Amino acid sequence: MRHPPASPASTPAVPPRPSFWLDQVAAGPPRASLSGGREADVCIVGGGFTGLWTAYECKRSDPRLEVVVLEARYVGFGASGRNGGWVLGVVSGSPAAWRRRGGADAPRRMLEAIQATVAGVGAVVQREEIDCDWRHGGSLTVAQSATQRARLEAQLAERRAWAGEACELELLNAAELEQRVHVAAATGALFNPHCARIQPAKLVLGLAAAAERLGVTIYESSAAIDLVPRLVRTAAGHVRTRTVIVACEGYTANLPRRHRWLLPLNSAMVVTEPLDQRTWTTLGWDGAETLLDGAHAYTYSQRTADGRIAIGGRGVPYRFGSRTDREGPVPAETVRELRRRLDGLFPAVAEAGLERAWHGVLGVARDWCPWVSYDRAAGVGFAGGYAGEGVAASNLAARTLRDLVLERDTPLVQLPWVGTRPRPWEHEPLRYLGARGIYALYRGADRQEDRSDRPARLAALADRISGR
């Protein structure tokens, strides 16, 4: 069996761009960096999905606003240019955690809002003519054992219990799944219609261009070194503003006084070379559904528009001290594990080479629920903590921030994620030990279930420790 490497040996030690998605798009000239002082109505720190959606929505709603975005490196450098490319109608966090945030109906309200967001993002993509390989085919969570199938059945029953008619998941048997995609040893799947496949770098760059057409100013190579109410400083300048929006997601850990707000959790991806038509005939997957496997330490995959499979997973989950640098090569062990999982799902691709590997960080709140906040008196807003579900959630968060900044009394500002931030993460070394230990438990649970095909208690223990 041939497994051409996609490890440090096959790619430059420091790749020129941090993901395959960014490799696929023209780099273009760099935007100017901030130099000297200027004023704005809204200053947004972070040039990823949250920051750009917020800039776009604020400027589109009130063209008179002077809106400035400060990006530390360049647009799409962080998670927005490295993620799995799922516009998924799901927010992270357990129903119990959402109830603690906003009452008995909080999980249902969040679900309804995020499900509607998928079509809303699609409408903007169409209106702004953003070519991002959009394909609204839904998402599959696939079981490959009786234990995984039982877990999906339990998840469906729980979702129906708290979501009622808002639950639009469908349980597929093995034959029904086979009509969509051939997954080895599949015993069934949950189908969620609220998901679109995208090329994320194309979407974030297209969104930046749309915001600039409206009159938003984006400064690159302009890292914020201090944020206080109504003032943001960079190394070469500052912005005086009525409103500061912090939109750094996993990179929030690098900001002064915000180091423990979010845990920067690592995720890694690999992508195959283009597959031939014979292989695609074997696999099916004509609907381009996104695909999640049923393991506790799961992987996520998509069929790309140019005929590849991109698959991602946690790899090394966390680095001591909440470090966010992920520009070096992906550890060879992580690449091998993703290769193994890919072959386990799709044996027909075992001879296909891996073209690229990359990794990045996503932000996780202590209770695993994202949040939006806005202190009107101080003029400071925040959104983040999407825990890997941010492509759609960032749009919903941005529209929520827009209404908060513009003082609009809308259903969005009543959503249960609006409020004060949850408690911070623990100090080191507890963060390091906890994050590494939790994912060791999940992987141990998967190994137990592979051997016995019975539910492993280790996974429940990991859930309790993590707060999920």
Residue-wise pLDDT for 92-130, tens only, equals 999 999 999 999 999 999 999 999 999 999 999 999 999
| C-alpha span between 184 and 197 (Å, rounded) | 22
pLDDT score at 77: 97
Exposed e or buried b per residue across 253-275, where buried means at least 16 C-beta atoms within 10 angstroms of its C-beta: bbbeebebbbbbbbbbbbbbbeb
Contacts of 59 (CB under 8 A, 6+ apart): 65, 67, 211, 214, 215, 216
User: Which helix (DSSP H) or strand (DSSP E) does residue 447 occupy?
Assistant: helix 430-452
pTM strictly above 0.75: yes
| Below-70 pLDDT ranges, the chain | 1-16
Cα dist from 289 to 114, 273, 320, whole Å: 18, 19, 35
Where residue 310 falls (left for φ over 0; alpha for ψ -120 to 50; beta otherwise) is: beta
pLDDT score, position 466: 82
> Exposed/middle/buried for 408, CB within 10 Å: 0-12, 13-18, 19+?
exposed
User: pLDDT at position 16, please?
Assistant: 67
- CB burial of 368-378 (b: ≥16 within 10 Å; e: otherwise) equals bbbbbbbeeee
